[in-house]
Structure 1
Amino acid sequence: MPSSSTSTTPPNERTSLLPKSTSLNSDSSDTQTAYVSSETSTPPYRLWLSEIWLLTCASLPIILAYTLQNSLQTISVLVVGRLSPEALATAAFSYMFAMATAWLIALGGTTAIDTLASTSFTGSKDKTDLGVLLQRGIIVLSGFYAIVAVVWWESEHIFRALGQEEYICVQSAKFLRCLIPGGLGYVWFEAMKKFLQAQAIYRPGTYVLCITSPLNALLNWVFIYKLNMGIYGAPIATGISYWTSFLLLVLYAIFVRGKECWGGLAPRRAVKNVGPFAKLAFLGVIHVGTEWWAFEIVALAAGRLGTIPLAAQSVIMTADQIINTVPFGLGVAASARLGNLLGAKRPKEAERSAHCAATLSVMLGTLILAILMGTKDVFGRIFNDDDRVVELVSQVMPYVALFQIADGLNGSCGGALRGMGRQWVGAAVNLVSYYCGALPGGIWLAFHGWGLAGLWIGQCVALYLVGAFEWVIVGMSNWEGEVEKAMGRLETGDTGHGHGVLVDQVEDDAV
């Protein structure tokens, strides 16, 4: 197909999927005309394959970055786990609580940057609006984190009220207090990553974490064993790694690529219209949190089943935090892609992209299922040598493997909803699916003969309900209306002053 609306060059395998814009200020109607022409001349299956390939290329570095990011705490759990089953349970439980609170702010709250920045990048003439959004995000999310820090400081009383074993109450509370300084580094690092991802710069997070991941392993070993700090050396070492990751990412943006959208410090603009951003960030926290909190409730319930079930649950959840990077990373890529397309006023392609992301997630979920089933009998030994823990992990793993397909669908469709700024829809679906049926049912099964397996049966049911409902909702969306809403968010969120076209740059950078 032609690369522009006026070109007469015959199409070939190197021809761009979408027409190129010659400048940021080019008339979007000309681009739209060329785009429609290219759509009608290309077989539908090629458009679908091209979109799936683009999403794959965009999501792979994001998935790898999140995997390495989660490996920081996974390595910490592995190092601590060699001390004793109690130390393993304490570290894993503490990081799970961190995941359901502070990490939730980082990964859920920054979905507001996903929604607004990706649309602003293709819909605004002033690219430095992204720098203002980054500053606004850091201000809002730091405020959210301050609340979490207070909760961590008083967590001993919270854990005791929840009926956890005494060593968990005392040791996990101390663990989290040591993690408070480093947790803010995690939040800022995630905000910086989203700033770059909105510009279709996906790889720096991976580069940075390739440095800090082995550094984190070394620091954990030194702090825990060489400096004889025990389990409390782990949160200090991991916190240092988080801040190092953030600083390295900033240096990358300054000296390599990414500063083009930074217009300098602008505190007055950053605090302007902070309310709409805070609302969207809060809804993002609720959207992601309604699922993660359900897993936290499962961890609390596992703690009441005894030390071995809690240790087995800790192994499974630590592993699942790594596996979850696949659907979550794909969801981030889908969110950014949809935001770009909605900002460029391309509703038809946005719809196709959403369905391609869902299809790709099912394929990846099936692959993960096969891997987990093939390794279920030895999987537990990666984390602990206790035969009782390994055997229980093997018994529960089929249910964990089964829900990977639904988890992938939930990640991709959830990302599509966030790209449309509809975080509240995903939150509502999660609330109904988890808390009104599947979660209470799983807890009932757990304490009526099914044990830990009963908890995971409930999770399977919830994930399949969520995945199915969200895909239906995405499929029934009015995409022309979503374009209008995206344009409206640029105005009310003070993120743009006009409209341009940068989708082709996004596509080239992603691939």
Structure 2
Amino acid sequence: MDNSAGSDPQPINGRSQGRRQSILAEFLPESLPLPPSFLATSPIVREILTRDIAECSSDDEQTVHPSDSDGESEIHPADAKLAFHPNGVAYGSGYSAIAIQGIDRPVPNPTEVEESLQAEVDLLRDNDIIPPKHPYSQRRNFFWRVYRRFFSTRVKDQEEPIPIFHEPATETTPLLPGIAEADEPLPTPPREEIYEVFEEAVAAHIIKTTWQREAKTLIQYAVPLIVAFLLHYSVTIGSVLTVGRLGMVELAAVNLATMTASITCYVPVQGLSTCLDTLCAQAYGSGHKHLVGLQAQRMTWLLWILMIPIAVLWWFSEPILSSLVPDQETASLAALFLRILILGMPGVAALESGKRFVQSQGLFNATTYALMIGAPLSFLQNYLFVFKFGWSFAGAALAMAITQNLLPLLLVLYVRFVNGMECWNGLTRKAFSNWGPMIRLALPGMIMIEAQFSVLEILTIAAGQFGTAQLAAQSILVTVTSTSFNIPFPLAIATSTRVANLIGAHLSDAARVTAKVAIVAGFVVGAFNLTLFTTLNETIPRIFTDDDEVVGIAKQVILVCALMQIFDALAAVSHGILRGVGRQAIGGYANLFSYYVIALPISLSTAFALDWKLSGLWAGLTAGLAVVSALELVYLYHADWESAVAQAEARMKSEDVTAESKLTPA
């Protein structure tokens, strides 16, 4: 493909001067053993943006280069070596064990550049290459030495034994040692000096990290995402909690309806919209900011059109659901829930596009702010519609549909009155052009995600064969395990970003430290969830329903889900590490193999042949997750991380050569 057409393609392909980009996309997709349909998304991105630059840029749509904005001429996208960017994030994706693949964002924005700078400063300070923020205290008391030994991120503190005892005082020992020094902060070197020093330190192989630094970084990255994920999924939790008070049949119906909605609509929408992670970020990074809004508009229109046949399917879903589950009342209520959820379809599509629109500008908290308002309102609506107004089961569906439309509206208000308008040039007819390449870019991600989620729909239909009580218990278990998964999954996103950036910065040893910390953290999270599930195995189901039969079933099966938590967390984190080193295909294929070859056969055979019913279904899923985590961890144990660094370097060099050749006159 000829990428020379169009104006200013260099920020898309990489810069010939300045620092190398260390984003995961720099060494994808050559390092992946993927089939042809999954290869080389970046040429498609270039094709889309080149066409849009040529066709959709005019005098009134000025190109603003990052180096020209706000007078920050020293800031360049390629300076972001260690920036955090939660790409591919689909908040509240829902169901356990499935790690969304997504497409990695190749161009950081100014916010990420600043975060990258701070991350480099932290590593340089940890290695005593630049002065610390505060002078190291000379205190010799016991607690200070304990802190330095176990919590200090400084490499020297961890490599040199620090005796934990009181040194005898002498005539020259100060009465208040270190206090004056600690109160006087040292100046941080200029930006360009930090860049130069960091490059020299990496070249000299003297940059190291500690588990304390990586643990602190992962916590810093993951906690905001955990909050956002839990807030978004609370919309579903609110509906399930409310419906559970209505009765067993209603609880079973809401599970069948929400799972069907996820498989037929929400998951495909999330999968298709992941291509905006690349397109919007590339448009913003290349300086063509008006194209960010154009890409978001184009995807929104596409999703709205695709939702027309889905809406028809939902409206006439009762006969289909009736053939899948034996209880006709459950199928009828589930179909009613789906028909009302049609009202929320426009909001679902707009939110997915809107999230990428603000994230590409570095406004990662915008969605969280919208959720902080929308989630509590969702609980209030459930209470009012279901109990106060007496709308019963239909009221819960209406509350969810209204919230789905409210969230993108809150995002629009944030963009209009707070930040983000610089990338919006208003509605345009140009959003109806250039769809072909965008669809080719979006389809692979959607297919992979859909293939992985489909196994959960199969298990839900299987649960319905055992009766209404079993399906109602399944609703509780799916909600609880999905909620618990919203802790390790954000941790996996943070891990993949940190590992990818360290690999791209040629810090493979540091990346290995991050991987080890993440695996331990994943195990700790899984153990915490396991403890919670086992100790509250009866309390948790009673939060959702007072039906003793449903509580009895859920109380027994939740012990199986408790064991699953360990493997669920390890599988999520290990997949995040694989994504960070450019081997997410290994995790994707391991998931498909384990779910369809291991989990599904075991689930169906134990549930039906051995008559374990719901326990059998979850036992099979647990076995599949155990296989997934084992395969991925074994691969990581034997992986050659240096080869990932070499592949990243080779790709960056080739792109530098390409950029230079385009600058050279014929």
Q: Settle same-fold status: TM greater than 0.5.
A: yes
Which residue of the partner structure matches residue 160 of structure 1?
322
Runs of 5+ consecutive residues of structure 2 not aligned to the other structure: 1-119, 137-152, 155-187, 657-661
Matched position secondary structure for 1:450 = coil
Tell whether 2:383 aligns with 1:383: no
Q: What's the CA shift for 1:74?
A: 1.4
Tell whether 2:593 aligns with 1:432: yes
Q: What's the CA shift for 1:397?
A: 1.2
Percentage identity across aligned positions?
33
Q: 1:237 to 1:201 in 2, by over 3 A?
A: same
Which residue of the partner structure matches residue 394 of structure 2?
232
Contact 1:114 1:419 in 2 (8 A): no
Tell whether 2:226 aligns with 1:63: yes
Q: Which amino acid aligns with 1:235?
A: A
How far apart in 2 are the matches of 1:485 and 1:181? 50
Which residue of the partner structure matches residue 532 of structure 2?
371
Q: What's the CA shift for 1:159?
A: 1.7
**For 1:9-408, what aligned pairs fall within 5 Å after superposition?**
9-11=130-132, 22=191, 32-36=199-203, 40-42=206-208, 44=209, 46=210, 48-114=211-277, 124-126=285-287, 128=289, 131=293, 134-135=296-297, 137-142=299-304, 144-197=306-359, 201-259=363-421, 268=430, 272=434, 275=437, 277-337=438-498, 353=514, 356-408=517-569
The C-alpha deviation readout for 1:362-383, integer Å capped at 9, x for no partner, is 2212211111111012221001
Q: 1:316 to 1:424 in 2, by over 3 A?
A: same
Q: 1:472 to 1:148 in 2, by over 3 A?
A: farther
Q: 1:432 to 1:400 in 2, by over 3 A?
A: same
Contact 2:248 2:550 in 1 (8 A): no
Contact 1:106 1:187 in 2 (8 A): yes
Contact 1:299 1:313 in 2 (8 A): yes
The C-alpha deviation readout for 1:154-174, integer Å capped at 9, x for no partner, is 322332332442123222122
Q: 1:332 to 1:243 in 2, by over 3 A?
A: farther
The C-alpha deviation readout for 1:192-243, integer Å capped at 9, x for no partner, is 3344445554433332222112211222233233444331222222111122
How far apart in 2 are the matches of 1:103 and 1:368? 26
Q: What's the CA shift for 1:271?
A: 5.3
More helix as a share of residues: 1
How far apart in 2 are the matches of 1:377 and 1:272? 54
Q: 1:141 to 1:311 in 2, by over 3 A?
A: same
Q: What's the CA shift for 1:176?
A: 0.7
Q: What's the CA shift for 1:143?
A: 5.1
Q: What's the CA shift for 1:410?
A: 2.6
Contact 1:280 1:423 in 2 (8 A): no
Matched position secondary structure for 2:314 = helix
Q: 1:259 to 1:158 in 2, by over 3 A?
A: same
Q: 1:229 to 1:488 in 2, by over 3 A?
A: farther
The RMSD of aligned alpha carbons is 4.1
Matched position secondary structure for 2:131 = coil
How far apart in 2 are the matches of 1:161 and 1:287? 27
How far apart in 2 are the matches of 1:151 and 1:205? 30
Which residue of the partner structure matches residue 494 of structure 1?
none
TM-score (ref. length: structure 2)? 0.63
Which residue of the partner structure matches residue 479 of structure 1?
644
The C-alpha deviation readout for 1:102-140, integer Å capped at 9, x for no partner, is 22134444444456667888xx45373655554454355
How far apart in 2 are the matches of 1:167 and 1:488? 63
Q: 1:241 to 1:422 in 2, by over 3 A?
A: farther
How far apart in 2 are the matches of 1:348 and 1:243? 46
How far apart in 1 are the matches of 2:459 and 2:309? 24
Q: What's the CA shift for 1:425?
A: 4.3
Q: 1:358 to 1:174 in 2, by over 3 A?
A: same
Query: Greater relative contact order (Cα 8 A, min sep 6): structure 1 or 2?
Result: 1
Q: What's the CA shift for 1:358?
A: 3.9
Q: 1:41 to 1:30 in 2, by over 3 A?
A: closer
Q: Which amino acid aligns with 1:388?
A: E
Larger-gyration structure (1/2): 2
Runs of 5+ consecutive residues of structure 1 not aligned to the other structure: 492-496, 499-511
Which one is further off, 287-296 or 66-75? 287-296
Which residue of the partner structure matches residue 110 of structure 2?
none
Q: What's the CA shift for 1:353?
A: 4.7
Matched position secondary structure for 1:126 = coil
Count of residue pairs the alignment pairs up: 484
Contact 2:247 2:547 in 1 (8 A): no
Contact 1:284 1:423 in 2 (8 A): no
How far apart in 1 are the matches of 2:326 and 2:486? 28
How far apart in 2 are the matches of 1:54 and 1:4? 11
Which one is further off, 368-377 or 189-198? 189-198
Contact 2:330 2:468 in 1 (8 A): no
Which one is further off, 331-340 or 439-448? 331-340
Q: What's the CA shift for 1:183?
A: 3.0
Q: What's the CA shift for 1:395?
A: 0.9
Contact 1:212 1:244 in 2 (8 A): yes
How far apart in 2 are the matches of 1:484 and 1:175? 52
Which residue of the partner structure matches residue 12 of structure 2?
none
Contact 2:298 2:435 in 1 (8 A): no
Which residue of the partner structure matches residue 503 of structure 1?
none
Q: What's the CA shift for 1:64?
A: 1.4
Matched position secondary structure for 2:545 = coil
Which residue of the partner structure matches residue 507 of structure 1?
none
Q: 1:283 to 1:490 in 2, by over 3 A?
A: farther
Q: Which amino acid aligns with 2:622?
A: C
Q: Which amino acid aligns with 1:182?
A: G
Q: What's the CA shift for 1:248?
A: 1.2
Which residue of the partner structure matches residue 505 of structure 1?
none
Q: Which amino acid aligns with 2:629?
A: G
